[in-house]
Amino acid sequence: MTAPMKTIAMSVTLIVTSRILFAADEVQHPCAHVRDDTDRLACYDQAFGKPPASAAATSPAPSEQFGFTEKEVARNTGQSTASIAPDSVKAAIKSLDRRRDGKFVVTLDNTQVWAQSEFNSQADVQVGDAITVRRGALGSYLLVTKAGIGTRVKRVK
């Protein structure tokens, strides 16, 4: 094949390929032309069906959100804390870890994890103890032991 023939063959290939690519861009679903977001979504839902509800789309129970800041609750649920926040949570300690500084981290039977934020030697907890975590002053939380001793905690998870 001579050089001019190669050039012509290459040019024809490029033209055909570019036309195929442009043709692919022109084929769009009719819903793509709907301007209003809500109407476009309704169009796609009608054409393809609604997606199944996922577990992430359902709101967690209020007690699951207890101890998170308003920002964290809004991020997790899309709701404000005023409508869902309980005053306290009662649970049993499922696991207990001690840090080097003597503070503890407890995992409750409801899967919440709380870390002691200030050391209190009187606040003694053990695995299996029934405890209450309640709201304290200025947005803090208190873990109340079975002996009735309160210690400041922060929700970790």
What pLDDT shows up at residue 14?
72
Per the structure, how many domains does the chain have? 2
Contact in structure between 41 and 51 (CB atoms under 8 Å): no
Tell me, yes or no, if the pTM score tops 0.95: no
Q: Which domain holds residue 145?
A: 87-155
3-state secondary structure of 62: helix
CA–chain centroid gap for 73, Å, is 9
- The answer as to whether 105 is a domain residue is yes
> Is 92 in the same domain as 44?
no
Residue 118 within a domain: yes
Residue 152 three-state SS = strand
Per-residue pLDDT band at 102 (split at 50, 70, 90): confident
Cβ pair 83, 70 in contact under 8 A:
no
Please report which confidence band the pLDDT of residue 27 belongs to, taking 50, 70 and 90 as the band edges. Answer: low
57 in any annotated domain? no
Per-residue pLDDT tens digits for 54-74: 544 555 555 666 666 667 766
Q: Does residue 27 lie within any of the structural domains? A: yes
For residue 140, the model assigns a pLDDT of: 83
User: Is there a single domain that holds both residue 150 and residue 101?
Assistant: yes
What token pair was written down for 121?
């030697």
